[in-house]
Structure 1
């Protein structure tokens, strides 16, 4: 079971108390040690943290609980990673550093800078995956994480940061106006991923007050904290395949070029890690397909194209192999679960 640092729930006790609730009660109910609500460096199961948020939101009739908790958070919750981010020379380098070392805060979380999903020139998207591939993201937890990321970027850039739009992979938990007031931008729901859309030019914005010496010390500390597994190539290949899926069927040559490796070298390194490019491609396709099927109403033919399959029949065959049922059956189960919820 993945664990996250308890800093991720900073502000939850204060928020629950403001709603006349008993924070310790909800922590125990969700499977958390209440001490995790008052410290930053306790390791807690991510499922217990997500469950605590969902239970408290429902019982206290506070559908925007995740956003309220995010309002209490800032970059400092990331510990030494915050130092490296704050002292990066540009926004792009701050985001790259966050993407590289976010696993130290929460192993399952991933931050990826992508082209705009709507294909608008001059617009970039910062995608935030809060769970491991194939695991449905918890709604309150997603609101909390994306809300905290939004606030962190604003604290870095200042008033120049104005998001153009926000995507969330679940229905609105609170009135849409509540979300739009928090993010200061239009919000779309039931989308494939949680992401922030903003002008690409912001990547080149220089961060004021950065200190290269402090940054290098922080980066060295982060590298010392990183396990040997951080050097594995498979996670990087998985991320690259995920980015390339919407553009067609990813090929190992294209991924190898992204990693500055020869395709044979890449295959050999993957084999040494007990996997292969074909296996990773299949795993990513399965994860992305399930997300589209469970969170969107896109036609099956379009879902097939988005995961690099040539036709709908190929998606149907793959779906039977992955889950033992058709894509339509997967979608119907997800819809029925949302109805019950």
Structure 2
């Protein structure tokens, strides 16, 4: 928080949060997204939860905190902002309006908070370069003392890349500034295999996406980096012993 609040701009603050969040909360990931055609940018938060773990209240609370942080460091109104949730509506429109002074849309493809892109360049009045440097030195020392697990790093990057068309070891290694064979060796040193990490991330995300009946199965397949729905069907049979349609029917009966 100290680094973010003392950043020069809103964009720098969000980048610092995204960079340090995995060290603060294992399994959490924050990424910045852009929609140039709409003039919008935003933040997308994800958290690896176990199968069956309730996520609605956790995600809504997280985005409420993010929303209030952005309100604190920006000076414009929020009428053009948007909050998207993957889950179905759990509160009334009036109750959501108590926490978000902008449209809240449910059953969307991603959980995200969107706002006009120009806000990223807005300067933060409270920023203090000296305090920021001091905080960064402290955090940097802590990160060197307790480095983020290599498996966790790969998991975070895979999670980000799946919906962009898959996550090959060549792509992930490049993002980490390593040769694919070097990354393989580092994973092997911890008894980890790259394809198993990808499979685990896909399984977790599949259970979340399939719980949202409004997301077409073809889109679920694409979000998981599969080129066809057939690949999704085979994966679900291997993971859960059921087809995607059967899983959705089971989930629908359980929610009634």
Q: What root-mean-square deviation, in Å, do the aligned CA atoms of Structure 1 and Structure 2 show?
A: 2.6
Give the match for residue 116 of structure 2.
Answer: 199
TM-aligned CA distance change 1:285 to 1:155, over 3 Å: same
Q: 1:97 aligns with which of 7, 13, 16?
A: 16
- Once the two structures are overlaid, the 10-residue window that deviates more, 161-170 or 241-250, is 161-170
Give the match for residue 251 of structure 1.
Answer: 168
Counterparts of residues 226-241 of structure 1 (less than 5 Å): 226=143, 230-241=147-158
- Scaled by the length of structure 1, the TM-score of the pair is 0.67
Moved >6 Å (runs of 4+): none
TM-aligned CA distance change 1:334 to 1:307, over 3 Å: same
Note the C-alpha offset of 1:161.
5.6
Would you say the 8 A contact 1:133–1:284 is kept in 2? no
Q: 1:212 aligns with which of 126, 129, 133?
A: 129
Note the C-alpha offset of 1:257.
2.5
Query: In structure 2, how many angstroms separate the alpha carbons of the residues matched to 1:107 and 1:133?
Result: 13
Q: 2:75 aligns with which of 158, 182, 191?
A: 158
Note the C-alpha offset of 1:318.
0.7
Give the match for residue 111 of structure 1.
Answer: 30
- Once the two structures are overlaid, the 10-residue window that deviates more, 166-175 or 315-324, is 166-175
Note the C-alpha offset of 1:154.
0.9
Counterparts of residues 1-341 of structure 1 (less than 5 Å): 82-103=1-22, 105-116=24-35, 120-132=37-49, 134=51, 136-159=53-76, 164-226=81-143, 230-339=147-256
Q: Secondary structure at the match of 1:230?
A: coil
Aligned length: 256
Q: Could you report, residue by residue, the CA deviation over 1:188-231 in whole angstroms, capped at 9, with x for unpaired residues?
A: 11334432012233222222231122112222333444485533
Query: In structure 2, how many angstroms separate the alpha carbons of the residues matched to 1:162 and 1:230?
Result: 41
- Scaled by the length of structure 2, the TM-score of the pair is 0.86
Query: In structure 2, how many angstroms separate the alpha carbons of the residues matched to 1:161 and 1:220?
Result: 34
TM-aligned CA distance change 1:267 to 1:225, over 3 Å: same
Query: In structure 2, how many angstroms separate the alpha carbons of the residues matched to 1:265 and 1:304?
Result: 30
Runs of 5+ in structure 1 lacking a partner?
1-81
Q: Which structure exhibits the higher relative contact order, with contacts defined as CA atoms closer than 8 Å and separated by 6 or more residues? A: 2
TM-aligned CA distance change 1:188 to 1:225, over 3 Å: same
Runs of 5+ in structure 2 lacking a partner?
none
